[in-house]
Amino acid sequence: MSQFKGMDCKLRAEDYWGKWTRRNSRSWMMYAWMWCLLLSGGIVVPPVHGADTRPSQEPATNAAPTTITSRTMTVSNQENTAIFDGSVVLTRGRLVVHSDHMVVSFHPSRNGAESKRTAGATSANPPTSARVTGQDQKDRDTAPAVSERSIRMVEATGRVTIQKEDGHATCQRAVYYEDQKKIVLTGDPVAWQKGTRVSGKQIIMFLDEDRSVVEGDSRVIIDGEGGGKR
């Protein structure tokens, strides 16, 4: 899926909340909200050649920011989550991840100052979460800040596709675990890399070890030069 490697990050609140712009008013147009997550590492999916893979030759691009766009977004400080719905696209360098739904889970904040600042700026009894649709100023003003938060897990569900310069993968659910530096693909996962197609019940990508493991009914198809299979 991506180079989730070293995904401890701090959200740039000034970029996130300070540059909201309203899009054209055509009914079909999506209001895209952009989060710039400054990552200490990249988000790289190791190549999948079979049940176990060799390291990728592409160097990590640690400086590349991660951007998530979606039709709507819900932030819950109480639950330490940010939920993206509708045509979700995560982009980092040459990596692009598409899904219907994405949940970013954060480690609990070190103190409650952030939530208190947000509460004071909106109302004495703010809602647990604020749904951001980009349709009016009030929605933007009530969205709670989530800066100074480190990522614990990212879950993408619903027609997940992962595109990279040297390959791509599809599944119904992909979960990145920060503490283990791994991505688990389930729901008919399939990965393609340089003429090789790998599938199974579950594909696990160990980012620090630059390897992938296919579990359960694993199958590898290698295309010949003439387009045939062998």
Tell me the pLDDT tens digit for each residue of 26-61.
333 343 344 444 333 333 333 333 444 344 444 443
Of the segments 43-47, 88-92, 111-115, 118-122, which one has the largest average pLDDT value? Answer: 88-92
- Going by pLDDT thresholds of 50, 70 and 90, the confidence category of residue 193 is confident
* In the chain, % of residues over pLDDT 70: 47
CA 202 to the chain's CA centroid: 19
* Mean pLDDT to the nearest integer, 180-205: 90
Beta strands at 167-177 and 190-193: parallel, antiparallel or unpaired: antiparallel
Domain boundaries, the chain: 9-167
Segment 135-187, tens digit of pLDDT? 344 444 434 444 456 778 889 999 999 887 767 889 999 998 889 978 899 99
User: Are residues 130 and 59 in contact, defined by beta-carbon separation less than 8 angstroms?
Assistant: no
Could you give the count of Cα atoms lying within 13 Å of 191 in the half-sphere of its Cβ? 32
Which residues are 26's β-sheet partners?
Answer: none
Q: Residue 61: what pLDDT?
A: 38
Could you give the count of Cα atoms lying within 13 Å of 88 in the half-sphere of its Cβ? 27
Q: Per mean pLDDT, which range of 92-96, 116-120, 179-183, 221-225 is the poorest?
A: 116-120
User: Are residues 86 and 72 in contact, defined by beta-carbon separation less than 8 angstroms?
Assistant: yes
Of the segments 123-132, 198-207, 221-230, which one has the largest average pLDDT value? Answer: 198-207
